Amino acid sequence: MMPSQAYLTRIGMKGAEGMTKESEAWAEDLEALVESHLKTDGIAINSATNPLSSGASDAEISGVISQVQEKLHSVAPLMYKKPGRIAKSAYTLGDQVGMLPCSEKSDILVFVQGMGQVLTDGRAGMNLLIGGPAEAADVFITMADAKTGEIIGLIRLYPGSGFLHPTDDTFAQSLDDNLAIINIGSARKNAKAHGR
């Protein structure tokens, strides 16, 4: 698991502002949710920040993680626009992923990213009268080969209002359905159990 990233914006009567503390908490919730669903079927999870037996320092690992995440940010716009090209091996993070200590004993790197906007009570009330921006989020779970950096999977979730409340209630079924589509872990069991 790569460190999760989430960015929340609060939309109020006077405009938009960042929500740093809430963004960090939401990122942790999203990461925990994805981890728990992958672990359900016995998939072993390692943190990309763990030096394991490499002897790498925290600073060295943070540097590589930053490089890999920057590469994901650079390929993400086209990948989100044309996800069908993932099957044709069109997107890669490069072989620098191999510099992560976890890559030696891992098959897949998992990136969890979320972006959302939350309305203040005043803004939500005004929207009822005259309309305006909706409370909503986009969550992206990207999977890359831990050795080559090739992007091998992408899950996009689009929850509506209330997405900050118990994350498992908001995302769990949709996450399982999408994991089942790409045949990953516990989702296969869960989907079969629900007759899908």
- The pLDDT tens digits of the residues spanning 62-104 come to 999 999 999 999 999 999 999 999 999 999 999 889 889 888 8
Q: What is the CA radius of gyration of the chain?
A: 18
pTM of the model: 0.83
173 phi/psi in degrees, rounded to 5: -65, -45
CA–CA separation, 184 vs 193, rounded Å? 15
pLDDT interval class at 128 (50, 70, 90):
low
